[in-house]
Structure formats: structure tokens, C-alpha cells
Amino acid sequence: MIKTSDKKEKDYSIYFQPPSLVDAKKRGKAEVEVRYESAIPPELRTFGEGKFYMIRTYGCQMNEHDTEVMKGLLEEMGYQSTEDKQQADVILLNTCAIRENAEDKVFGELGHLKHLKLEKPSLVLGVCGCMSQEESVVNRIMQKHAFVDMIFGTHNIHRLPELLRESFFSKEMVVEVWSKEGDIIENLPKKREGIKAWVNIMYGCDKFCTYCIVPYTRGKERSRMPQDVIAEVRELARQGFKEITLLGQNVNAYGKDLDGLDYRFGDLMDDLNKIDIPRLRFTTSHPRDFDDHLIEVLAKRGNLVEHIHLPVQSGSTEVLKRMSRKYNREQYLELVGKIKAAIPDVVLTTDIIVGFPGETDEQFEDTMSLVQAVEFDSAYTFIYSPREGTPAAGMEDNVPPEVKKARLHRLNEALNEISFKRNRELQGQVIELLVEGESKNNPEMLSGRSRTNKLVHFEGGQHLIGQFVQVKIVDTLTWYLKGELIEESAQVQAG
């Protein structure tokens, strides 16, 4: 771990620590400490007064939550948020490394920002997040995008104030990417907006699926202490948030690393079920760690919603083995059966990859038949793209591009039919919605989501935003539903 110098003349070389894939692959036995001290040094609390920041976020909810932390840090330093690039004194790109097209978007944005940097040399331009944890990405930025001022990773977000100071005063690019995860920092400020909140319960992943870069960019699994998670959720309930989503690369592995504590994800959900917050979700889960106790707890309902995102990735046992998913087709279907028996009205969503190296026509048909058997309400579907540094990147990518596209098209058509069918079952039903705001496509309509995460559009006044309402479903489409407000239900629920 880097130690900064206390000398008046800074040794800028200590702010050059690029990522190492070799180090990122190591899983040490060293304990991860939990730290509660202040993240903002006193001398930096007014550093950003009169200045503005902008953060562009790519990728998953974990990245969105990291952005909330960075916003909190920046605003405690005195910075103000802006959506105007010309006004910004600091622009950060919080990046995703899951798919190749996510990286392409970031490098495209860097190309646009180069002109802004030339016009405004005082602008601090930074790249952070999962892409920063990859050796090849950092090398590319250093070689082809030397106008970038700072690069930092997922393990040292709490170091943003110090890194920002160095970027302002240093004439060199500041690079600090810890390839091995740091401690858990519990006191980081967060800037949350709206009626929903994300809460990290753990960091990292130890599953090492052969296609996935996350175990290297996010590090080994580290669970937060139960009392810290519960205290944060209680405080969010007190502040009036209506819905909380628990986050982790693999939330149902929670607690496995807490030595001396016989406390797992089901126990945490059971404790959070007792807190007066209307809705509680979680993402994402791994079928391998989805145990019977968790199913039993989720069946209690209350604030535990009837929606589970359960990535399957493939319906073929052979492909799942090459992916190192550590379960087979039969085990996945058995798990789905248990969940549906305990929660009959559950909505299941999933992730699916097509065209994984070696996937045959027959193996793809296994995926198609599993989709029909489970009847997912929706799915995130992807064509396989290799990520440098993962085992799958060394496999022969022998499925032709046109075959991958054809398979994806067939899969999406099947999923759309199932989604429409499942939505039709809600025709005429009255369901509860949490009203999130105006419809993106029609400002005269409001949008809300059901407990099962169904998107519903309906007519209603602006005063309903942030409230729970009852609507009758009057029309059903593939991607969303149309509802009719039951007026007497339009009231804020306790919570």
C-alpha cells in the first residue's frame, strides 16, 4: 500500500503505481481491516470552493454507487456539481470493464474531451473504475491519451482528495491503482438523490468465471460487518428512502469471509426485514451460493420483494463447465423450482451469454430450452467478447460472428414472447407502484415500478412522485405496462 510523503517537496514517483494483473490474481491471507477515520484531511475541506465537477458513469449499479461516494467526497471538499463540461474544473470517467463496447465508449469520450483539455489546460481529467484496474487500458491511456491527468482504481476511491491535490500541483500524470484490494472504509460520504438508495454489503468476487474480469478489477470477497450494514439501512429509512438495493458482485456469498461469525446473507436479509423500509432488493446473486435458508427468508416477504435476478449465462452443462460457473443445468433448474415453490408469484430475470468459445448448435438449443422452462420475465443478453487476462481469452473463439448474431436474435425473440406473455397475465390486476418520476418518452405520464420491478406508465399529477400508489393494469406490452390510477390509493405509505 502506498504511503505518502510528509515532506514539503513531494516525491511524485509515489503517485505512479500502475495495475498488475499478476498481483491482481493473487489471493492473500492477510486480514482486511475496517477503518472508520475521516476520509477528508482537514486541509482539503475547502480545496474545491468555487469549483465544479462532473462525473460520467458507465456500467453497473456498483459503479453508480462508487460515483455517489466520489460525489460525496468532492462536495465535502467544497466542489459543486455541474452538467456543463465547459464549466467543470474536474471531469471523472467512472468506467466499466465487463464488455469491450463499454471500453470503446470511454475511449471515444476521451477523444472528445481532448479538445476541451486543450482549450482549458487547468481542467483535471481523470479515469477511474474497473477499466483503470487493467494493465492494457492504463498503458493505452499513458501512450495515446497523455492529456489525462489522473488514473485511479476501484480499491482506492477513498484516496480521491489526495490524488486530486497531486493532480493540480503535479506536472506528471498521477497514477495510483492498487492491484490488491485495500481495507473497508466505513465512513465515506455519499451523495444520494431521489427515493432509492444503494448499499454495498460486500466487495469483490472469488468465483473466477473464465470469461469475467471482475475478480481482478474488484479483488477478493470482503464482507462489511453486519452492524455497519444494518446501521446504514436504518439511517436511510430514517431519512425517508423508499427502496434500498443491496449491492455486491455476489451478494449471497456475504459473510463467508467473516471469521468467527456464523452469519450469512439469509441472516442479514432476515434482520433487514425487521427494519421499517418499504422495499428491499439485492443484486447480483450467484446460483452456487443461493441456499435454502435464503429462500426461506425471502418467502417471508414484507419488505423483501418478489423479484430475483439470477444469472444463468448458459443452459448447457458443458458450456457452464467451460465458464467455470460451478453448477450445471439440472442444479440451476432445481434451484428455480425451490424458489418458485416458496414464492409462487416470483419474477425471475437473468443474464445470458451466447457464442461462448466452443458453443455448438446443440448447446445453444440447451439455452433456448432452459429459457422456455424457467420463463424469465426479462434478461440481459450478450454476445461473448473476450477480456484480456481472463482464461476464456485464451480459448479458441470458434463461433463465427454471423452465428453469434443469429443466436442472439433467436434468443431475444423467445425472451420477448415470454415477457409479453408474463405481462399479459397482469391485465386487469391492481398492483402497487413506487412512482419514480415522469415518463422518459411522455412528460404527461408518470412512471413507477412494482415490487417485481415491472415498469408501469400511468396518468397522474407531479405530487405523486415519490409516493406509493395503486394502479389497475389496462394494457400490456413487451417492455412495460400501462396503468390507470386508483385515486383513493394515492398516498404516501409509512416508512
* Residue span of the structural domain in which 156 resides: 12-176
Q: Check whether residue 335 and residue 435 sit in a common domain.
A: no
Q: Check whether residue 172 and residue 321 sit in a common domain.
A: no
469: domain CATH number? 2.40.50.140
Q: Check whether residue 117 and residue 218 sit in a common domain.
A: no
CA neighbor of 201 nearest in space, from 156, 159, 262, 263: 263
Q: Check whether residue 169 and residue 208 sit in a common domain.
A: no
Per-residue pLDDT reduced to its tens digit, 317-340: 999 999 999 999 999 999 999 999
Q: Is residue 7 part of a domain?
A: no
- Domain count of the fold of the chain: 3
293: cell is: 435458508
pLDDT at 183: 85
**End-of-domain residue from the set 392, 424, 456:** 424
pLDDT at 409: 98
Q: Is residue 221 part of a domain?
A: yes
Q: Check whether residue 267 and residue 381 sit in a common domain.
A: yes
Q: What angle do CA 54, 56, 59 make, to 5 degrees?
A: 155
60: cell is: 453497473
Query: Can you tell me whether residue 124 is helix, strand or coil?
Result: strand
Q: Check whether residue 467 and residue 408 sit in a common domain.
A: no
Q: Is residue 264 part of a domain?
A: yes
Answer positive or negative: Cα dihedral of 425, 429, 433, 437. positive
pLDDT at 490: 43
Q: Tell me the pairing of strands 481-485 and 468-476.
A: antiparallel
pLDDT at 441: 84
pTM of the model: 0.92
Q: Check whether residue 335 and residue 399 sit in a common domain.
A: yes
**End-of-domain residue from the set 156, 176, 196:** 176
Residue pLDDT tens, the chain, 495 long: 333 333 333 343 457 899 988 888 888 766 788 998 788 999 999 999 999 999 999 988 899 999 999 999 999 999 999 999 999 999 999 999 887 788 889 999 999 999 999 999 999 999 999 999 999 999 999 999 999 999 999 999 999 999 999 999 887 899 999 988 878 999 899 999 999 999 999 999 999 999 999 999 999 999 999 999 999 999 999 999 999 999 999 999 999 999 889 999 999 999 999 999 999 999 999 999 999 999 999 999 999 999 999 999 999 999 999 999 999 999 999 999 999 999 999 999 999 999 999 999 999 999 999 999 999 999 999 999 999 899 999 999 999 999 999 999 999 999 999 999 999 999 999 999 999 999 988 888 999 999 999 999 999 999 999 999 999 999 999 999 999 999 754 444 433
Q: Check whether residue 333 and residue 410 sit in a common domain.
A: yes
Q: Is residue 495 part of a domain?
A: no
d(CA 429, CA 410): 31
120: domain CATH number? 3.40.50.12160
Q: Cell match 463499454: residue? A: 102
d(CA 465, CA 236): 18
pLDDT at 29: 61
Q: At what angle do helices 401-424 and 361-374 cross, to 10 degrees?
A: 10
Burial of 238 (0-12, 13-18, 19+ CB in 10 A): exposed
Number of neighbouring beta carbons within 10 Å of residue 313: 23
